[in-house]
Amino acid sequence: MTRLRVRLVAGVVLVATACAPGTRATPATPGPPPTTAVPAVPPRPTPSPPAPSPVAYGPVATEATDAGAWRGSIEGPDGTRTFSLHLPDRLVPDAPLLVALHGFTQGSAGFETYTGLAAAATARGIATVVPDGIEDSWNGGSSCCPPASRRGIDDVGFLRALTRGLHAELDLDPERTWLVGFSNGGFLALRTACEAPGAFSAVVSHAGTMDLACEPQEPVSVLLSHGDRDALIPFEGGRGPVSPQAAGRGARDVFAAWRTLGGCPEPTPRDSLAGEELLAAPCDGGTAVGLAVWAGVGHVWPANLNQLLLDWLDEDAARRR
């Protein structure tokens, strides 16, 4: 069993707690259902502000208790931010780091129970951190999701500061530092890829989209995953009949946009657990852009998604070596 070294590093507080089994959580929902459907009209993209610097996050005291699933916190301009950290039984030097973002209203504990992603990743030797959004929401863009989006929470800066601290503490591989987001977390994952691409080598968004202009300053690999029957964040874009607040571009439109941003070749189909999968590679800097379309799937986390995205991230890292 791996024990985490405890010391002051980049403002990270780590507190170990025992893992407890939980019941299967309810999938995240980006908002309450409206009384009537709203036409699916994509919003006009608005410029996104530059990514804030993580220097605003100051050091705090660290503490650890029994070994298990670590709990941590970090102080920053938006107050105390919390997260769960899951480590493999044997954490080797230069291990990968996966940051997983929960959906709206879901929280880290609900996401871990519902998806099983942390357990699947640690079984492959990947250190996995699951942060908590402000009131279980992320500032993923202009429409998704309040209260974090309305308050202008610096979630991009939070993720940058958190990963910097964990890298210093755990000797992790900067070339295999990955960000995965579900629903509202998918919005933030793509926003982070736009505003702070150097913080992560690859980003995966499932059931999320973009509602901001995007001008990344360096290449980053992106995998877009979406069910074609999603009624909350519609596959075709716009506003869905279930969620009037969250809206953005369609999955294929976002896929095309990232291929253009990355200087990618035409995509090619490949065998996939999703039903349809396209890959455009190599793009600038050896990166790749992919799209996985889950036929007949709504706003849920598919059973095979953990394997698909972890395999994709491993393959992306191997392409760059």
- CB count within 10 Å of CB 82 equals 16
Q: What is the pLDDT of residue 165?
A: 87
- CB count within 10 Å of CB 24 equals 9
Q: What is the pLDDT of residue 22?
A: 40
- Choosing among 3.40.50.300, 3.30.200.100, 3.40.50.1820, 1.10.3720.10, the CATH entry for 52-320 is 3.40.50.1820
Element at 122 (helix H, strand E)? helix 117-122
Mean pLDDT for the chain?
82
List pLDDT tens digits, range 97-133. Answer: 999 999 999 999 999 999 999 999 999 999 999 999 9
Q: What is the pLDDT of residue 242?
A: 57
306 against 143, higher pLDDT: 306
The dihedral built from the CA positions of residue 217, 82, 120 and 66, taken in this order, carries a sign that is: positive
Task: Say if residue 145 is preceded by a cis peptide, omega within 30 of 0.
Answer: yes
Packing angle, helices 155-170 and 184-195, rounded to 10: 80
- Closest to 279 (Cα-Cα) out of 287, 269, 264: 269
Q: What is the pLDDT of residue 245?
A: 63
| Local confidence band at 66 (pLDDT 50, 70, 90 cut-offs) | low
Is residue 88 within 8 Å of residue 95, measured between CB atoms?
Answer: yes
Element at 181 (helix H, strand E)? strand 172-182
Q: What is the pLDDT of residue 316?
A: 96
Torsional class of 52: left (φ above 0), alpha (ψ -120 to 50), beta (otherwise): beta
How far the first Cα of the chain sits from its last, in Å, is 30
Q: Look at residue 75 and give its three-state secondary structure.
A: strand
| Local confidence band at 37 (pLDDT 50, 70, 90 cut-offs) | very low
Tell me the domain boundaries of the chain.
52-320
